Amino acid sequence: MTSFSRGQVVEWDTQTIILKNCNGVAKDRACLLSPTMRFNLGLCRKRTLKQLLGGWEIHCSYFYEGDSVTSLFHGGFESTHTESSEFNLDDSFQVKEKISHESTDSPLLGTKENVLLAHYIPVYVMLPLDTITMDNEISNVDLLHANLHALRTAHVDGLMVDVWWGIVEKDGPKCYDWSAYRSLFKLIQSYGFKLQAVMSFHQCGNNAADSCYIPLPGWVCKEAESNPDIFFTNRDSKRNKEYLSFGIDNEPVLNGRTAVEVYRDFMQSFRESMSEFLESGMVAEIEVGLGPAGELRYPSFSNSQGWRFPGIGEFQCYDKYLLYDLKEAAKSIGHNEWGSSGPADAGHYNDWPQATGFFRKHGSFTSDYGRFFLEWYSGVLLKHGDTILEAASEVFEGCKVRLAAKIAGIHWWYKSMNHAAELAAGYYNLRERDGYKPIAKMLARHRAILNFTCIEMRDKEHYWKARCGPEGLVRQVTNAGWDKGIDVSCENALPRFDRAAFDQILLNARPHGITDAIPPKRRVFSFTYLRLGPELMQENHWREFVSFVRRMHAGLDYHPEPDKYFKPTVPLERSKPLKAFLEEPAIPVASVPLDQYHVPLALQKAEEPFFSQDAPGGGLGAQVESSSASFPLNLIAWLWHGTGPSRTVKQNVQSVYQSDSDYKHTGSSRGATQSVQDFYQSDSDNKHAS
């Protein structure tokens, strides 16, 4: 990727010029086409348009802007001069001046096959959790060989592997043993798979789907004997050892290191020990574990604590470090009484919302205190993810990998007005507040992929009294990512082998269906299937899975290199500066009815690849409503810089909420407020330090 400026002569090496204007900042770029794509398009002389567009003199017949490939003379641009000319790849163009059109990095598609390649979605498969045992050995190598051979014949693109902190660094601080993982990576490389490596900083064994037990490193657990507050704690003082408390991110309590330093050192050792796999491009993604189960959330619902579906869970903020943080936040706004504890009436793990004073209809979560607490609670989560991802971007800078972060699919009580389970997990998501846009904006700062779960679920498959809404939740979260300009990947939350689940994945992965006429308006970056195991290898399950992979590939043959389906991997850059990022204007969000979001499968042609020539032009997902609520606090300055919030509590918002009986929260009426109460929205009253 080559930067260029006014007056610079750039050698012609492509049939499209990629222009990008970052809010007035001179960061325009010309992206050169890969050799394979030049081969596909042909190296011969072509008759095209010579177009003077907005002062740029370029030789090309198409311009890729946003969601579609547009002919220059049909794209709504007013040109100053158009003429036919011949050119070859030795020609050059000169940059005359800047223009403000924003475009993606997809080249001229040309043929139908190339258009279909733009619909190609790579499919990864998770390896078993205990592929590397606690003895730091590969489990059942012969069986693994057989499984990898089968996945290769099914044209699976890659694999996901958990890299367990509790295995690699179990012998002591900074005592890393990568031997088993190096052997595993070599085995995976021999089959030609790409790899998603998960930095698993959590304990395995706390969730229903966990098939083994892998604790945190023993030396960490020993530190907890003298300081149990390094773990999350609920109101009853029960410790959760699944993940370290966010409160010690910057506290040197782990043998003299902070949690952030421990995570950074682990990732740095991974980079150094696995350099050959990073340099070869085999490791395509680094998913950074940011919480329990590797997800950016609090451990509010844990089987080890007695939680059972569809309990609301419990707030996890009662260790001394988070309580101190809460106290300081309350003090900074002049409400010391709010900093002594979390909500006293929020119930227990298996309560339902209406059984609690905090979450029930007109409950205290709508009070000034409730809104303050939820702002702080979700803000700590957001800051944790931001801090760890910034460390990861520093460690892997220059590597041809993508960073990714996983967001939990907490779909129970999603259709209730309180969203109790989401709030307890740290997602401050309500009818009038989109809790996932701040997360997406944070990920955009680090150029990270948003990986979301429960893409296979349908509302009707769940207990209706639990007000489950996985379909609406998937739409809301994926569109939060796309609206912020980041790539979105997904995975199934539970093992599924049936066609109904695979069809639902396809609908969510390509919300506008497939057509061989234009590239997709929106599609997921990749899909990861949970999980490799004996059930998947059963004949009927395997047949469905192989067919599903073919459909995810848009009916095309396997393509091992992302460049071929227009997802080139470039060296990772460091995170954007926080101050500069906060000052960027909000990305506008369009609004369309939810029933236009998907192309129903029944309308799509049955043959492979299944097309939809009637894909709707809209389809952004949740409708956007305006909100006049001035509360809650803007705690971003205090959370990041310690300068205190800029507003005080002035509004009682009880009247904002309608009664539960009046609230019809269905897939076609879900409302979301654009960037309301966004922690990442800069405050005009506050001057943030960089």
DSSP per-residue codes, 377-390: HHHHHHHHHHHHHH
Domain end: 59, 88, 110, which one? 110
Percent of the chain with pLDDT over 70: 68
pTM given for the model = 0.74
Q: Which amino acid is at 575?
A: S
Residue 603 lies in a domain: no
Q: Which residues of 15-40 are buried (b: 16+ CB within 10 A; e: fewer)?
A: bbbbbbeeeeeeebbbbbbbeebbeb
Instruction: Look over the chain and give the mean of its residue pLDDT values, rounded to a whole number.
Output: 75
Same domain? For 535 and 477 the reply is yes
Answer whether 450's CB lies under 8 Å from 504's CB: no
pLDDT at 56 over 60: no
- What average pLDDT does range 281-294 have in this prediction? 97
Which pLDDT score, from 0 to 100, does residue 83 have? 32
Q: Is residue 553 part of a domain?
A: yes
What is the pLDDT confidence band of residue 210, given thresholds at 50, 70 and 90? confident
- State residue 580's pLDDT score: 62
Clarify whether residues 299 and 425 are in a common domain. Answer: yes
Sequential DSSP letters for 318-358 = -SHHHHHHHHHHHHHTT-GGGGS-S-TTS--TT--GGGSTT
Do 98 and 28 touch, CB atoms closer than 8 A?
A: yes
Asked if residues 478 and 487 have their Cβ atoms less than 8 Å apart, the reply is no
Peptide bond into 402 cis (omega under 30): no
From 68-72, 392-396, 538-542, the region with the lowest mean pLDDT? 68-72
One-letter amino acid of 474: V
CB 521 within 8 A of CB 597: no
Among 324, 175, 189, 169, smallest CA distance to 245 is for: 324
Domain holding 90, by residue range, is 2-110
pLDDT at 28: 30
Q: What is the pLDDT of residue 81?
A: 32
Residue 213 pLDDT: 94
Comparing 243 with 82, the larger pLDDT belongs to 243
Q: Are 551 and 148 in contact (CB under 8 A)?
A: no
Higher pLDDT pick, 245 / 35: 245
Asked whether 305 and 313 are in contact (CB, 8 A), the reply is no
Location of structure tokens 């507040």? 433
Q: What is the pLDDT of residue 675?
A: 28
Specify the pLDDT at position 584: 54
Asked whether residue 498 is domain-assigned, the answer is: yes
Q: Which residues contact 113 (CB under 8 A, 6 or more apart)?
A: 556
Average of pLDDT values for 1-16?
A: 36
Tell whether the model's pLDDT for residue 212 goes beyond 80: yes
Output the six-digit token pair for 17: 């010029």
Instruction: Indicate whether 390 and 494 sit together in one domain.
Output: yes
Domain membership flag for residue 459: yes
Write out the binding residues: 162, 202, 210, 406, 411, 453, 492-493, 531
Reported as a pLDDT band with limits 50, 70 and 90, residue 229 is very high
The three-state secondary structure class of 261 is helix
Q: Looking at the structure, do residues 106 and 134 belong to the same domain, yes or no? A: no
Q: Write down the pLDDT at residue 172.
A: 97
Tell me if 579 is assigned to some domain. Answer: yes
**In the predicted model, is pLDDT for residue 439 greater than 60?**
yes
In a domain, 647, yes or no: no
pLDDT at 670 over 70: no
pLDDT computed for residue 207 by the predictor: 75
Q: Is the pLDDT of residue 669 over 80?
A: no
User: If you average pLDDT over residues 410-432, what whole number do you get?
Assistant: 96
Cα of 213 vs its chain's centroid, Å? 26
Q: Which residues contact 294 (CB under 8 A, 6 or more apart)?
A: 162, 198, 200, 201, 202, 287, 406
Does position 347 have pLDDT exceeding 80, yes or no? yes
Q: How many separate domains does the chain show?
A: 2
Whats the size of the chain, residue-wise?
Answer: 690
pLDDT in tens, 24-45: 222 232 333 333 322 233 322 2
pLDDT band at 109 (very low <50, low <70, confident <90, very high): low
Whether 168 and 248 share a structural domain: yes
DSSP 407: E
Residue list for the binding site for substrate: 162, 202, 210, 406, 411, 453, 492-493, 531
Same domain membership, residue 30 and residue 130: no
Q: Same structural domain for residues 30 and 147?
A: no
High-pLDDT (> 90) share of the chain, %: 62
Max mean pLDDT among 58-67, 139-148, 558-567 falls in 139-148
**Residue 272 in this model has a pLDDT that exceeds 60:** yes
Q: Which pLDDT band, with edges at 50, 70 and 90, does 581 fall under? A: low
What average pLDDT does this structure show over 353-360?
Answer: 97
**39 — phi, psi (to 5°)?**
-65, -40
Q: Residues 156, 19: one domain?
A: no
Long-range contacts formed by 605-612: CB under 8 A, 24+ apart: 608/550, 608/551, 608/555, 609/116, 609/119, 609/514, 609/551, 609/554, 609/555, 609/556, 610/513, 610/514, 610/551, 610/555, 611/513, 611/514, 611/515, 611/516, 612/512, 612/513, 612/514, 612/515
Does the pLDDT value for residue 604 go beyond 50? no
Among 80, 110, 140, the domain-final residue is 110
* Catalytic residue chosen out of the listed positions 285, 295, 314, 471: 295
Distances (CA, A) of 328 to 101, 456, 545, 685: 45, 42, 52, 20
CATH label of the domain that carries residue 451? 3.20.20.80
Residue 232 pLDDT:
98
Residue 54's pLDDT is: 31
Q: Which band of pLDDT confidence, cut at 50, 70 and 90, is reported for residue 98?
A: very low
| Same domain membership, residue 528 and residue 394 | yes
Q: Measured between alpha carbons, how far is residue 246 from residues 230, 257, 319, 378, 446 in Å? A: 9, 14, 10, 11, 19
Residues 179 and 98 grouped into a single domain: no
397 catalytic? Reply is no
Residue 281, Cβ neighbours under 10 Å: how many? 15
Q: With respect to residue 179, please indicate whether it lies within any of the assigned structural domains.
A: yes
pLDDT value, residue 530: 96
Q: Is residue 595 part of a domain?
A: no
State the pLDDT at residue 211. 82
Rounded distance between C-alpha atoms, residue 411 and residue 457, angstroms: 9
Q: Are residues 336 and 426 in the same domain?
A: yes
| Whether 491 is catalytic | yes
- Going by their DSSP bridges, the two strands 158-164 and 527-529 should be labelled as unpaired
pLDDT of residue 311: 98
| Whether 78 and 130 share a structural domain | no
Segment 407-413 shows an average pLDDT of 98
When pLDDT is cut at 50, 70 and 90, the band that residue 583 belongs to is low
Last residue of a domain, one of 110, 136, 157: 110
Among residues 223, 390, 422, 491, which one is catalytic? Answer: 491
